Amino acid sequence: MTSDGAGTTTDAPASGRMVTIDGDHSILLDCRGTGSPTVVLVSGTGGASDEWTDAVDPAQPGAGPTPSDAAVLPTVASFTRVCAYDRPGTTRNNGAPSPSTPVPQPTTAQDGATDLQAVLSAARENTPYVLVGASWGAMITALFARTAFADVSGLVTVDGASVFLRDTLTPAQWTDWMQKIEAMDSTTGSEVPDYESSLDEIGAAPAMPHPLPATVLSSDIPWDLQVGDSGSTWPAWLEAQDLLAADLRAEHVTDTDSGHGIAIEQPQLVSAAIREVVDQARG
């Protein structure tokens, strides 16, 4: 399929299709279902679109995620249009690198938001969008919502990285975390998020003119960023989630029976939260 001058689509080796933007830059996009608004699923650091098509079998929690009809994307496709995509440098659950065209690393929230807007436009996916951001993906959706507010009708964060983390972590923890990210090998093409620059980008963006229907899902099984020896980051993560929910005036779901990977551990909970925001956006 050829779009209106913005890009082209071809068959992809994984579920979905390759959408070409900027001439020779292609991104794997997996869209299913019909209806409005269009739900857009944005994965965490290194996570490909199958973060939303796979789930953990409760009977075999140690087996890892596998394709499932109960996963978020196929469930959401039953009640509206939904898209997920592979950012450059992400890795699929089977260990294979994404077919999306690699880009120089590290990348920022602005890089992610620009690519996302371009791929949705090139694929002719209709606005408005309900943006769903997991972990690092929530930084991308936060900036997208500020810079393309007219195209957005709702927000869901799935244990999303909060813009308040720089405030809730101790200075030592923040420094240790940034040093851990800087130590990631950016020469392999694997995704490396630039949090410092991204926070500045979000801070410089215009505020949303008014609140949108929103839900914040937070993990309740403790996990840790595992940075340095400055103590657990779990309390700071929870505080940042509270601040994020208050800032968005969002429903805050804290009883998730899940660690950081809520989308694959509790996909039905995530799908239900998305449906509630979709229903509010329609109303």
How far apart CA 111 and CA 106 sit, in angstroms, is 10
Answer for the pair 133, 140: CB distance below 8 angstroms, yes or no: yes
- Asked if residue 99 has a cis previous peptide bond (ω within 30° of 0), the answer is no
Q: Residue 253: beta bridge partners?
A: 217
pLDDT at position 61 over 80: no
Residue 26 backbone zone (phi > 0: left; psi -120 to 50: alpha; other: beta): beta
Domain 9-282, CATH among 3.40.50.720, 1.20.120.10, 3.40.50.1820, 3.50.50.60: 3.40.50.1820
pLDDT at position 194 over 90: yes
pLDDT at position 280 over 50: yes
pLDDT at position 3 over 50: no
Instruction: Look at 52-61, 204-213, 235-244 and tell me which has the smallest mean pLDDT.
Output: 52-61
For the whole model, what pTM was predicted?
0.94
User: What's the chain's average pLDDT?
Assistant: 93
Which whole number is the average pLDDT over 100-129? 97
Structure tokens at 84: 């997920």
How far apart CA 170 and CA 231 sit, in angstroms, is 9
Q: Which residues contact 169 (CB under 8 A, 6 or more apart)?
A: 177, 233, 236
How far apart CA 103 and CA 120 sit, in angstroms, is 18
Q: β-strand 251-253 against 25-32: which pairing, if any?
A: unpaired
Q: Which among 128, 121, 129, 123 is positioned nearest to 156, based on CA atoms? A: 129
How far the first Cα of the chain sits from its last, in Å, is 33
